[in-house]
Every structure is written in structure tokens, then in C-alpha cells.
Structure 1
């Protein structure tokens, strides 16, 4: 009889690329139950769908002010709803995604243990906002320090973030990057003008407008944006910018399963993320790996984790900074031959930079917990 594994995430699991990789990895081997928002991901034995609930603001704020952190955690509606849905169910192991699920996972007392997969450095998640840093940052730090060492194993998304968790919590933390599954594609010929692309959220702190301004300033490229409507007001602003300049096009987002083939028709993936907080400064985003699987060259900001991979594999150019002028400087100096070489490098490194090797890391941790 297959052992029972719970994968819990306070996210829409069927659309959460990282969690979905876990589901697809473990459903052939274990009896998998998922608990999260939205419909069931394909292949699971059971899905416990949670409904979004509003945090009881004043009470929660008061508890955090008093540093009643444990009470604050168990007051969270998502935690309470999940605890109710999971009551009475027994599991051999639990894979808990992000720190807000970890105390709950441990409270369920799975027979063999808990693996925590943490997608950000939570104690400094929004440190650029002083009220958040003062009230919520310490609560997240308390959660991490209290609960991560109690897990059988822990992983996160990049080496620098893993190091910070180890320093702050004492837990040993492995790394599973947000690598994209391998795609059997080939680079397309470089267009004239060179075609840039960016996909992701429309949040204004993602610096997308600087990318727009940089492309317009360079004057030798086009830019296509595939943006989700997380920040509707800013998305409308970007659409207005696109109407004013034919070099810029804003598209609706495409389903993730269609994204890589959509990106394959472009030349360079671009991502300039300003280091406004610890996570942004040490980001190793899935879009970098999406660009590689799409066989694109890349232009990225000088974020250490991204820069290391781009430089080691010769995938593209690391901009000198995060501004429109920094991007324009890079674009003005590019030739079609260079871009074709970058695309060829992505093709050459696509297998090693795919999710294949990363999935083995999760597999090792869960197999060890299961005693196999």
C-alpha cells in the first residue's frame, strides 16, 4: 500500500508552478492529498479546497503588538480553515510549502515527519515598508526560528537565502531552484529588430516601466509583455504606454503550459529587479529558467544569483544597474550575432538548467523521511 503524503500550500496549487512540480513528482509514488486554494491538481488522491478568508485585522494586529505570536498564527483564517479540513486525517509525511503552513503541518503529527519548502526569505519579505518591518517581520522570524528546526528537512530557492535561514534559525537548509521542466525546443533565428520579452506579474515594484523606458531609449528593439493583472492600475498604465509607442506590446497572460512555446518566438528575455529588499536582492526567479527553456538569450539586472548563472553559462548580458539607461546601454551595444550566440548557449545548457536535477533533491529528502 502506498504511503500517504500531504502537500499543503496556501496558494492555488493547480496554478502554482513550484508546488505543481512537487505534485507531479510525488503522485506516481505516493497517495497524495493536496490542501490549498482552487481546484484539484491532476493526479492527486484527494484535494481539500480552501476558500479565501479575510484576516481579522484589529485582533491580529493587537496580538502581534503584544508579541503573542503563537496566538496570532492560530487566529489566521487560512490556518483555521485548513486545520478544520484536515482534522482526523492521517499522513506518513507532509510537504509544507512556505512558513505559514509549517506550524500547522507539525501540529498534524505525521507519522514520519515534515519537509518544509520555503519560497522566500519571509522575515524580510516586505522590509522596504517600515510598518511591515516593525510588526510582521519579527513575527515571521519567530515562526522560522521556532518551527523550521523541528522539521526533518528544509529547502528554499537560492543559496544566499538558504544561508540566511541557516544563520537565523540553526536549521540546515538545502536549495531547490525554481528551474523550469525541460522543453525539447530549438532557438529561433534572431529577428530584425531584436525582440525582447518579459512575463510575470504587473506589480509596479517589479520595475517593468524601467524596462519599457530602456527599450524606447535604445530604439533598436521591441518589447512584448505578458503580464498578470496583480496590479490592475499599473497594468492599465503600462497598456497606455504601449499605445503611445509601437515598440511596446502588452499581451494578456498565457497559461503556464503554453508559456515556454510562446516565449520561444522571441530573442531576449529581460528582467531588471531592483534590490529594494533582501529577497529582490537575492532572487533566482523561475522566469530566468523559463527564458533558458525557451532558448532565449537574457538581459538581467546585477542580482548576484542571476548574474552568476548568466555569466557561467554565457546566456546573455548582466546590466550594470537597474535603470532604463542601464538597459538602453546594453541594448545599444548588442549585435544579432551576439544574440544568436546567447540563444545557442541557452540551448546548450537547457538540460542542466532544467528542473530535472532539482526534482531529485526533493525526491531525496522525501524518500529519506519515508525511510525508503
Structure 2
């Protein structure tokens, strides 16, 4: 049985793309993981490393090296890289799945003949481009890592077509797409029960309370919709407590919006299935937001919801292709409200049925099959 390493400097229990990697390869490979939090999967050896705690002195030294473009020095002095080197130096694998550019120099140094596959979740050189200081210090560093190391990988993929094309354009590599599709979820027996019984139309958004996502625009949309509509926001508050408090204050002033506590990852789809519409306005604060194709989009589909989204190209393309719902003309609350107000009950029911059919096509099982085929091809 071939030995496979999944390396991601993150929590391997809460990262959906990482978790799905383990699911896809289970039974076919002898698996090892490396990261900050054990995946806790039977039969997987896990190499645990500490998540670094940065003090002001460490940050100052790092910024000094970044300013003078000492990028190799920056990378190899990262605490997590130093610890990971100790864990990997005596290990051998046939295949390594490296998540993001920060894993790549490390795995290439210690691959010992292994095939290296890189999952570039987003477009790294523009990840936080809305921040001046990030653009000043980190964007050139991320560009250096991509330019230097991505061409050395055996296979590269990302989450959406727009992001994949940007890697190809700027680094001359082939970059494929493996989406963040959710696992297939059997439709609830009462798929259309709520939608047929009442004129009320229930919208849901779920995710982190992150200011970069501009969730307040979705709240403001509810000022312009007709009386049929209500919105529930299921938010993870601890990402940014100050922003969550701001949203909470906005919601308290409105009768048609609520904030709900988050459910577990496994419960997101069955919980969402009681709603009519999956709702997402994502203002493009950066390149990755513009070309986002997030987990929640596919979770809306598996929950058999109609979809109401802003005109981000990747989400809009699939929404049009499978006739899943409405796309507002721009990213404003008023335009989205116009699109929502024009909806009929019959249209919503049709979009839900279209999601029901699309759930069989756009799912993690299909994407996992693609990945398994890739592994087989590159190890032949």
C-alpha cells in the first residue's frame, strides 16, 4: 500500500478540504497527517506540531527580512517549518498532498522521490490584498514562493476556474480545479413541505462573522424586501467579536432578521434544509472574494435551497449553468432586494428542484474521484 502524507499548517478536523482528502484516500493508502490539530482518524499516523505564537520581537525580525527580500531566510526560520523539518527528515512517502504555498518548499526538500501534489486553496499573492501592509510585506513573499516552487510540483489544483487561470497566467503552470463541493446529502422527505405550506420565504446565510465578507449588506437588504422574507444568520462569532457585536446591533433594529448560534459542521446541511433560499452577497474586497466558490455555495445545493447570490463570476457561472436561482445586478442591498422581490413561489420551488438534481452532480464524491484518478496517473 502506497504511503501518503497530507500536510497543512492548520486544524485537520475543521478544514473541509483537508477533511475530504482523508475521506477520499481512506482504505487505498497508508496515510500520515501533519498539522496543528490531530485529524483523529483511525489508521492515520499524525505528526503534531505546535501552532507558533508570535511576539513583537519575532514579528519585527520577520518584517526586517521581508523588507530586504530575504525570503528563504523568512521561510526556513518559521517556527512551524523548523519543527516540521524534524518530523519529516526520517520519513518517506510515495505521495505528498501539500496544502498551500507555505507547505511547498518544505515538502519539496524532504520528498525523497515522492510525487508532490499541491492544493492551492486560493490565489496566494492576493490573499489579503485589501490590507496595505500585507501587500507591502507579504504579497512579494507569496509571489516568490509561488514563482520559485510551484513549477517544481507534480500537480497543482485550486478551488475555482478563475483562480486556476490566474496561476497559469502568472506562473506558467497547469492548474486544475477541484472544487470545495459538499458530500452528497439525501434530500429530506419533506423537501418542499415548508415552501408549499406558507407564503413566507426563509433565507439563510451561515459562516464566520468576518468583516471582509461584508455581511452587513445582507442585513441591509432586508430593509428593502417585501413582507414575505425573513433572514437567519448562523454566525461563528469568535472569529471577530467586535464585528459580530456590530452585526448584532444591526439585527436588533430589524424584525425580519435573526442571528442563530452555529450548529456542528455535520449539521449545517440538514439544518439549512428547512429554509427556502441560500443567501450570499460577497463584495469583492480582494481577488479571491471576486472568484470565490466557497463551501457554503455547495452546502446550499445539498440542502436543496434556491440560491440568491451577488454577481461573483464563479458562483454566477454555476448558478446559471444549473438554473439554481437569482444573481443580483451588482453587490448592493437595493439591487439584491429587487431580485428577491421579483421571485414567485413557483420559481423558488423550481430552483429547489433544480438543486435537487444538481446535488447528484456537484458533490464531494465526484471531486474525490477526480483526485483519486490524478493520484493513480502520476504514480504510474
TM-score with structure 1 setting the length: 0.96
Q: Give the SS at the match of 2:223.
A: helix
Q: Is 2:330 aligned against 1:326?
A: no
- 1:20-66: CA deviation from partner (whole Å, max 9, x where unpaired): 00011112111100111223232342112222213421111111111
Cα offset for 1:15?
1.1
Partner of 1:361: 370
Q: Using the alignment, how far apart are the partners of 1:76 and 1:232 within structure 2?
A: 28
Find the residue that maps to 1:123 and give its secondary structure.
Answer: helix
Deviation at 1:112, TM superposition (A): 2.8
1:350 aligns with 2:359: yes
Question: In 1, distance between residues paired with 2:176 and 2:43?
Answer: 26
Match in the other structure for 1:211: 218
1:40/1:49 contact within 8 Å kept: no
> Which ranges in structure 2 are unaligned for 5 or more consecutive residues?
none
Aligned residues: 370
- List per-residue Cα deviations over 1:229-267 (Å, max 9, x = no partner): 211111122223233323111112211111100110000
CA distance 1:164–1:294, shift in 2 (3 Å):
same
- Cα offsets for 1:151-184 (capped at 9, x unmatched): 1111101111111101111221111011111111
* CA spacing shift, 1:246–1:84, aligned 2, 3 Å: farther
Quick one: distance in 1 between partners of 2:372 and 2:26? 12
2:156 to 154, 157, 166: 154
**1:174-193 equivalences in 2 (<5 Å):** 174-186=176-188, 187-189=191-193, 190=195, 191-193=198-200
1:354 Cα deviation from its structure 2 partner: 1.2
Show CA shifts across 1:100-141 (max 9, x none): 111111111243321001100000111122221122111101
* 2:203 alignment partner, one of 192, 196, 199: 196
Equivalent of residue 84 in structure 1, options 75, 86, 89: 86
Deviates more, 1:312-321 or 1:103-112: 103-112
Partner of 2:18: 19
Q: Distance in 1 between matches of 2:62 and 2:97?
A: 27
Q: Following the alignment from structure 1 to structure 2, what is the Cα–Cα distance between the partners of residues 364 and 72?
A: 36
Aligned partners of 1:115 and 1:365 also within 8 Å? no
Cα pair distance change 1:44/1:68, threshold 3 Å: farther
Q: Distance in 1 between matches of 2:108 and 2:249?
A: 48
Q: Distance in 1 between matches of 2:203 and 2:209?
A: 17
Match of 1:121 in 2: 123
Mapped to 1, the partners of 2:179 and 2:40 lie a distance apart of 21
2:233 is matched with 225
Separation in structure 2 between the aligned mates of residue 133 and residue 44 of structure 1, nearest angstrom? 42
Aligned partners of 2:96 and 2:111 also within 8 Å:
no
How far apart, in 1, do the equivalents of 2:360 and 2:331 lie?
29
Shift of 1:348: 1.4
Q: Are 2:307 and 1:306 equivalent residues in the alignment?
A: no
Partner residue, 1:295: 304
1:266 aligns with 2:279: no
Distance change (3 Å), C-alpha of 1:197 and 1:151 = same
Query: Aligned partners of 1:222 and 1:80: how far apart in 2?
Result: 51
Larger CA deviation: 256-265 vs 78-87: 78-87
Worse-matched range after superposition: 226-235 or 115-124? 226-235
Aligned to 1:29: 28
* Alpha-carbon distance between aligned partners in 1 of 2:104 and 2:30, rounded to the nearest angstrom: 20
Q: Which residues of structure 1 form unaligned runs of 5+?
A: none
C-alpha contact 1:94 1:110 (8 A) present in aligned 2? no
